[in-house]
Amino acid sequence: MLLEILGTGCFKCQKLEELTRQAVKEMGLDAQINHVKDINAITNYGVMMTPALVKDGIVKVAGKIPSLDEIKKLLS
Amino acid sequence: MADCCTGGVKLLYSCSGAADVGQIADGVSRKLRDRAFARMTCLAGIGADLSGFVESAKGADVNITIDGCPVQCAKKTLERIGVTPLSYILTDFGIEKGKTLPSEEIINSLSDRIMRNEPTASGVKSSGCSCGGIC
């Protein structure tokens, strides 16, 4: 599974990455997590607000930080 | 462009339809974007069910649609993904479909009226929320 955190590096983006890593660890998933900070790569997804979480090329959430439980649901 | 850590995100969609009023809707939307009224994004991305556009619409504080005519393709496109936009229909402002030459003057005038949140011909300012267009 490829997970991408979209965001230029602000607190919210870092928080989403932290929660995502925690979710992956607790769920025992085999996932590669990349933090995408390049604005052109972000806009190519059509994302208008960050942070955003992308799972295998599909944007799961944009513009907010989901809770840990919400992230687990998105990844399951 | 993707934005980060800012509250009150308003996204703007134009029907950009084939008719003259669709062309005017496109011009008005771009004018409103240039005036920083809202951030314009692609209605086609929603129609194509592209996840980034869909999730951005769902995550925005306000979604605004500019439709040229009462068919309201832009509004209905948003509604298909469960988003109720603040809706403007340009014919409600008194222009006629098929009889209105797209011009800078008309685009400026309609943009001004939307920014001032003037009542439309039907008396309906907007739909989708009760903010009156200021949220």
Cβ-contact B61, B10 below 8 angstroms: yes
User: Considering only CB atoms, which chain A residues are within 8 Å of B42?
Assistant: 46
Phi, psi of B114 (to 5 degrees): -65, -40
Q: Tell me the two tokens of residue B50.
A: 């592209």
| Strand ranges inside chain B, DSSP E | 3-4, 10-14, 39-40, 62-67, 86-89
Global ipTM? 0.87
Which one of the listed residues A13, A23, A54, A71 is annotated catalytic? A13
* Residue A10 among the catalytic residues: yes
Q: How far apart, in whole angstroms, are the C-alpha atoms of residue A23 and residue A10?
A: 20
User: What average pLDDT does the segment B73-85 reach?
Assistant: 98
Q: How confident is the model at residue B121 (pLDDT cuts 50, 70, 90)?
A: low
pLDDT of residue B8: 82
Q: What is the pLDDT of residues B42-62, one digit of tens each?
A: 999 999 999 999 999 999 999
Closest in A12, A43, A58 to B2, CB measured: A43
Cβ-contact B60, B86 below 8 angstroms: no
